[in-house]
Amino acid sequence: MRILIADDEKELLELLKMSLESEWIVDIASSVDEAKGYLDAFHYAVAVFDRTFEGADRVKELISYAKSGHAGTAVLVLSALGGVDDKVEGFGYGADDYLEKPFDIKELRARIAALSRRFAVRKLTIEGIEIDPDAETLKREGEAVVLSKNEQALFFYLLSKAPQVVSREEILDALYDNPQNITSNAVDELVARIRKKLDPKVIKTVKTRGFVIEHGL
């Protein structure tokens, strides 16, 4: 399972990552723009957002962005604003849970696990390939299908966007830190390798527009 934590307290971010990465894949973001970049690139079972960034309440914006990209992402708000009115407002913004700072890491871990169960995405089967979006695993007839790091990132990025068509430029931006140094042919080569390992019909090419997995989550 992959989770995202966004907070402008960088020391807290590093502490949370260290505390939780033994159980889950943990991405951290210290700004709203960085969090949006991660949300564009990956599917998250749970996102944990602080309310304020540099003194401004940005959590409504973040929740809306996360939910518009993938309605199945559960959002937990983590904030020093812990009054009843603050919590009511947070839930009104679309939060699925709200935890006041300071908090016990054990409680945070338990709440993340509970949210992941509530919002668990069902497993998919596409062209005989069994897909677990949360664990990011693929199987054919019970046997694991192994993809390279970039192949896996591309496949699950397309899956998170399904059934939308995704352009080569969007894929380059999502997969690479310096996409300007990567040719669009790199995307076509990755798609070709994935098709060989899975099935040619899993990822479809839409002429002049990009690629699509037509089975949405």
Residue 82 lies in domain: 2-118
3-state SS class at 22: coil
- Are residues 206 and 177 both part of a single domain? yes
Q: Is residue 7 part of a domain?
A: yes
Alpha-carbon distances, residue 101 vs 75, 83, 95 (angstroms): 16, 11, 16
- Are residues 37 and 112 both part of a single domain? yes
CB contact at 8 A, 210 and 167: yes
Q: Which residues of the chain have pLDDT under 70?
A: 69, 71, 120-122, 216-217
- Are residues 110 and 175 both part of a single domain? no
- Are residues 110 and 13 both part of a single domain? yes
- Are residues 200 and 106 both part of a single domain? no
Cis peptide before 133 (omega within 30 of 0): no
What integer pLDDT is reported at residue 71 of this predicted model? 67
What lies within 8 Å, CB to CB, of 28 at 6+ separation is 4, 5, 6, 7, 13, 14, 16, 17
What integer pLDDT is reported at residue 186 of this predicted model? 92
3-state SS class at 37: helix
Structural domain count of the chain = 2
Q: In what side-by-side order are the strands of the sheet with 124-126?
A: 124-126, 129-132, 137-140, 143-144
Q: Is residue 104 part of a domain?
A: yes
Domain boundary among 76, 91, 118: 118
User: Which is it for the CA torsion 82, 88, 94, 98, positive or negative?
Assistant: positive
Residues constituting the chain:
217
In the block, residue with structure tokens 């809306």: 64
pLDDT tens per residue across span 23-75:
888 999 999 999 999 998 887 889 999 998 988 899 999 999 998 867 678 99
CB contact at 8 A, 213 and 158: yes
